[in-house]
Structure 1
Amino acid sequence: MKIYTQTGDDGTTGLYSGERVPKTHPKIEAVGTLDELTSHLGGIKSIIQKGPIVDELEKIQKSLILLMSEVASSGKGEWQNKQGDIRFLENCIDHYEQQAGSFTKFILPGDNPLSSQVDIARTVARRAERAVARCQDAQTEVRKYINRLSDYLYVAARYIDKVFRETMKTNIQQMHTELNLEQANFLIEKVKEYAAYKGIQVVVAVVSKEGSPISVQVMDNSFVISYELAIKKAFTASALKMPTHELARLTAKGAQFEGLENMLDAKIVTLGGGCPIKVGGIVIGAIGVSGGSAEDDIEFARYGAQCIEGE
């Protein structure tokens, strides 16, 4: 069976009843937004990989598939356990509220990459809720489930924020003034997760405060040259105690460190992607990332340094 049928080339599509409707029909808009939401949840699952939240998201994805059939068939779909699925979300919401604490102020998304993606999914869920509301024959349970799902994603994101901050605090307390192999690998894994989510293959290097490599990890299909560059970026950031992209301005013609990158046996680089790691204002090492654009490498290195610093 071919994936393309050509039946939708005229701008229409079929409902469960067999009726052909425009692809701009409210039901198609609602189903499409729910499908988009399901894909976002899959993206979050791929980052977390295992644990209770992954199991919850998988159950939610399965419910959303049934819910889409309800929307497309005017309540004559295959979603049988409506009340049970709603109660499941309410129980999860209660659990995460207890774990994350009360919410007394506006939350600015972006505390960490994972919770940011959950917040994006939450906004898509709200858009799906509005789309479902435009379907006049949408079942009450459908509207209620999507409303609860938005709340679930909100509290799950706040729970992830809390776990992230507590993990970072623990790492800071354990670190003192020296980076060890375990901490370096922890940091590298965080950066690799973020890079994988963005679909970019990078090499990540972590060095000590003296500039000696502690750990270097290479993602599949990354550039060969990225290995050497990642180490040099980390060394430069540690040796000069500044991000490498800031050094470019200082080594320009007529600037304070003009020509520095051509000295020291070419160990110094001015490409973005190197960042010192500080605890209590003291540089304890550095991270170097290479493989993406200059902006990507800078973003990954900053994120990695903040993971350790807990800022």
Structure 2
Amino acid sequence: MAIYTRTGDAGTTSLFSGQRVSKTHPRVEAYGTLDELNAALSLCVCAVQSDALKPFLEGVQQQLFWFSAELASENETPTPSQRYISTAEIDALEQAIDQAMAQVDAVHGFVLPGRCEPAARLHLARTLARRAERRLVELAGQVNVRQVLLRYINRLSDCLYALARLEDHLAHQQQIITEVATRYRAATRTTTEPTRMSLSFHELHQLVRAAMTRASALGVPVVISVVDAHGIGMLTWRMPETLLVSSTLAPKKAWTAVAMKTATHQLSDAVQPGSALYGLEAQMAGNVVTFGGGFPLWRDGNIIGGLGISGGSVEQDMDIAQAALAAIHMGNDQ
């Protein structure tokens, strides 16, 4: 069966009533733009990562068919047998907006339209929804259009913005997880000299003693924590009168130094807004420390553990840690 009828070759098309109008008629422009939006949403369904989002977007696509059918008819109200947009569909869009925005950081300015492919496609669909809204407003100036349709298309563009923000957020989370996992695997790679890939009891003793000596000289009681190459605690020592919070921070600094394969003070710039690891602290539920006092322990280019010092200022903690590393003739880099 041929899909071409040749009836539109002269630049006209038929409404549901049978009336023929120009293909540039405001009514045709309105439902034609909804058709563009529906096609763009198909690309979004193929791209989004969330399994729950796919059926939601497919539901919106079905609603756009109802919407277009209503615009292609000259009847002012839908017939009893016709599916149509109601306040229930608007409520569902608002619920989706609230759920998405609750998971992302607040912004107080413009955002670039999509830093990952699913978000970029959703933002493109958003712009088409805005264009459809403009076409609908134009049509409403000439014929009667149900107010609920104007509310729906306005809310749909808001919803697509919120979903794009959420997709960007989820992609950034995955990027952080991948980066941390990559660094951790690199830090715990196997070696042909297993006996040299850990601190000896003598080295551990010298490390702690040097740290305590330097802390005493500075008049700063600290907690000293050492972990192995897998981030597992080997020793934690608390000097008298040390701040209670230091008993939590020192092990976290040592673990961070191993997990991120770098001194903790070197992470400060990397977690600032716009940097590669922005959001790392929040995503790691506070287990990562990004201020000074944590140092990885290296031997022959391999990481063998981490040292964390907490109790003084950042500068004092770093000073004490570096004195401890020097005592066992170990630098804090490869």
Summarize the alignment of residues 252-271 of structure 1 with structure 2, pairs less than 5 Å apart: none
d(CA) in 2 for partners of 1:310, 1:42 = 32
Q: Of the two, which has the highest radius of gyration?
A: 2
| CA distance, structure 2, for counterparts of residue 156 and residue 174 of structure 1 | 27
> In 2, Cα distance between the equivalents of 1:145 and 1:13?
26
Q: Deviations over 1:14-64 (max 9, x none)?
A: 111111000000010111100000000001111237611111100100000
Q: 1:140 aligned to 2:147?
A: yes
Give the Cα–Cα distance (whole angstroms) in 2 for the partners of residues 50 and 101 of structure 1: 19
Instruction: Structure 2: give runs of 5+ residues left out of the alignment.
Output: 187-259, 263-275, 279-334
Cα offset, 1:103, TM superposition: 2.9
Identity in percent: 36
Which residue identity lines up with residue 131 of structure 1 in the other structure?
A: R
1:44–1:280 distance in 2 versus 1, CA, 3 Å: farther
Change (3 A) 1:76 1:17: farther
Q: 1:171 aligns with which of 178, 186, 191?
A: 178
TM-score w.r.t. structure 2 length?
A: 0.52
Aligned to 1:305: none
Q: Hey, what does 1:86 align to over in structure 2? A: 90
Aligned partners of 2:47 and 2:117 also within 8 Å? no
2:283 aligns to what? none
The residue type equivalent to 2:10 in the other structure is: D
> CA 1:49–1:168 in 2, change beyond 3 Å: closer, same or farther?
closer
Query: 1:148-191 CA distances to partner (integer Å, 9 max, x unpaired)?
Result: 00000001011111111111111111111757xxxxxxxxxxxx
What secondary structure, in the 3-state scheme, does the structure 1 residue paired with 2:171 have?
helix
- Does residue 1:63 correspond to 2:63, yes or no? yes
AA partner of residue 176 (structure 1):
R
Identify which of 116, 126, 132 aligns with 2:130.
Answer: 126
Q: Which amino acid aligns with 2:162?
A: V
Confirm whether residue 159 of structure 1 aligns to residue 163 of structure 2. Answer: no
CA contact (8 A) 1:100 1:155 kept: no
| Matches of 1:23 and 1:49, distance apart in 2 | 37
| 1:18-37 alignment, distance < 5 Å | 18-37=18-37
Which residue among 93, 96, 102 is the counterpart of 2:100?
Answer: 96
Between the two proteins, the alignment pairs up a number of residues equal to 186
Q: What is the aligned counterpart of 2:157 among 139, 146, 150? A: 150
- Please say if residues 27 and 72 of structure 2, whose CA atoms lie closer than 8 Å, have aligned partners that are also in contact: yes
- Structure 1 unaligned blocks of 5 or more: 180-278, 282-308
User: Could you tell me how far 1:110 is from its partner in structure 2?
Assistant: 3.3
**Residues 13/42 of structure 1: CA separation in 2 closer, same or farther (3 Å cut):** same
Letter in 2 for 1:128: A
Question: Which stretch of the first structure deviates more once superposed, 79-88 or 23-32?
Answer: 79-88
Cα pair distance change 1:113/1:280, threshold 3 Å: farther
For 1:115, the aligned partner's letter is A
